[in-house]
Amino acid sequence: MPEQNQPSPSGVRLALITGAAGGLGRAFALGFASRGYKVAVADVNAAGAEETAEILRSKGTESLALKVDVTDVASTEAMAAEAAEFGGGRIDVVVNNAAIYATVTRSPFEEIDPAEWDLVMGVNLKGPWLVTRAASPYPGDGGRVINLSSATIYSGSEQWAHYVASKGGVVALTRVMAKELGKRGITVNAIAPGFTLTEASYGLMENAETYGVDRGSIKRASQPEDIVGAALFLASADSSYMTGQTLVVDGGRQFI
């Protein structure tokens, strides 16, 4: 991941986005495409990844669809190698968006199935580690890593211990990686979105459009574009002296 202000051989920067078959990941892909990036779209759902890539291509963006299991070393390494080749030997931005969210079972912490606990931790916490580990050598000097946490780590959402713990771990991982990768000019930051209206969120409850709006300083529901703007800032030269930080983007429901 080279220095942000240095052009790639083709003059176009590359963003690698995981969990981009739909929802917030697809919104990230569209956002980076709108800023002139090539976009590598990665997801365990290969058909969904290809659909996102086709949407980007229809808008004139060079895009590559990749199937990846973010919990698997070989899979993440193959994904990163293909993405880097597509990017002319470099990966400029990594957005670690892949997560288990809508399908997580809500239950008291003592009743959580240990197998589901391991699955959530594997995708939501191990995933960002493995993806960043695989991408960092291309070519290994400069770049941006953006991890997705969740504002729920500050409120402690009941009956969701495995999800909340996994997203809290993302913040801790972000800080460690910022220290280690900062020596190579790579910044690592996180975004902690509040409840955002995606396909997954609509599937969680009937009143998704109004959920939590009364608790926010900004009295409207969060749209994916609200989160995308924060990612574009963290990928830009404007944030070049900012690392190890977590941006809470929740309409002012919580002040950290």
Residues known to be catalytic = 163
CA dist., res. 183 & res. 252, Å (int): 34
CA dihedral for 161, 148, 204, 222, sign (positive or negative): positive
What's the token pair of residue 105? Answer: 């079972």
Residue type, 197: L
Residue type, 198: T
Residue type, 221: A
Q: Following DSSP, what letter does each residue of 38-98 receive, concatenated?
A: EEEEEES-HHHHHHHHHHHHHTT--EEEEE--TT-HHHHHHHHHHHHHHTTS---EEEE--
CA dist., res. 232 & res. 80, Å (int): 21
Strand partners, 146: 95, 189
- For residue 8, the 8-state DSSP code is P
Radius of gyration of the chain (CA): 17
Residue type, 90: R
Residue with tokens 């239950």: 107
Encode 199-222: b = buried (16+ Cβ within 10 Å), e = exposed: ebbeeeeeebeebbbeebeeeebb
